Amino acid sequence: MVIDNLRYRLAEHPSIVGFRWSHAQSWGSTWVFLFTSIAAYVSASVLLHLLLLLVFRHRLPLPLGHLPAVHSLCMALISITIFAGILLSTAAEIRDTRWSWRRTRTTPFQWLLCFPLGTRPSGRVFFWSYIYYLSRFLHALSTFFTIIRGRKLSFFKLFNNSILIFTSFLWLEFSQSLQVLAILLTTLVYSVVYGYRFWTAIGLPSACFPFVVNCQMVLLGCNLVCHIGMLMLHLIKGGCNGIGAWGFNSVLNGAILLLFLNFYVKMHIRNRKRGGSGAAAVKEAEKAEELVKDKDI
């Protein structure tokens, strides 16, 4: 009964099954809203940074209490909910539509990588893609925590969070292929990462190795393999839906992937030069985490 009730609420509810991405019905679905919200996010971050520099001339961190821990807990719960919802919704979509794939000899895994041409942004999986898009705004709040605590404003963080919002919008707007696997992988990893951040934020012991950075490496590696698989299917099967949006996203993700790998390699080189001590490794990992902790593809 519990499993059936969970399946109904996450995959069979009429509002989920009947979802349709529409500029008239879906909140935040217009291009005007997208660019306005990103501009407001960047402007608010810069203004807050300048205001704190003027009011508090010292560089000591300002206390935020349990607010970062609450944010991490909320993001962990939201991530695991989206993961469960899109997983159940994907199984339901495959069950209901696989009969139509027989003439094209499409398997469920191929559908996960490559939506057929003409796919519309409606139904279960696009409902959870929409929830994922909205969660990116909550995700961006971590920028303000960093500014308040350390008066540090990172251009990379602003650019990265803006791109996360922008690309998740493109997933819905152009029914981009590969988004189901991307959301599954990202929410699974981030439920673990944010759970770990909540664990350490409330004072519990942290791992003796760069936990978050290694999780990011796993996520980036899996997504790279999926991108290659989709490109192969696009060339073999004659086209995947939303390939233009996918190409734009791939360029942005590729640039940040190279940046991450460069930083990751430098981190390990420094650790070897310092003798590979646990304390040094964790310290370097924290620097790397500060650079890429908000990155997902």
Check residue 65 and report its DSSP letter. Answer: T
Query: How far is the C-alpha of 294 from the C-alpha of 145, rounded, in Å?
Result: 13
Would you say residue 260 has pLDDT above 90? no
Would you say residue 297 has pLDDT above 50? no
pLDDT tens digits for range 167-178: 999 999 999 999
Position 31 in a domain: no
Residues in the chain: 297
Position 15 in a domain: no
Number of domains in the chain: 1
Average pLDDT over residues 4-31: 91
Position 234 in a domain: yes
First to last CA, the chain: 36
Parent domain of 279: 2-7+39-292
pLDDT tens digits for range 182-222: 999 999 999 999 999 898 888 877 776 677 777 887 888 88
Position 53 in a domain: yes
148: pLDDT confidence band, cut at 50, 70 and 90?
confident
Average pLDDT over residues 276-296: 47
Position 12 in a domain: no
Query: How far is the C-alpha of 36 from the C-alpha of 217, rounded, in Å?
Result: 32
Position 74 in a domain: yes
Position 297 in a domain: no
Position 17 in a domain: no
| Entry pTM | 0.86
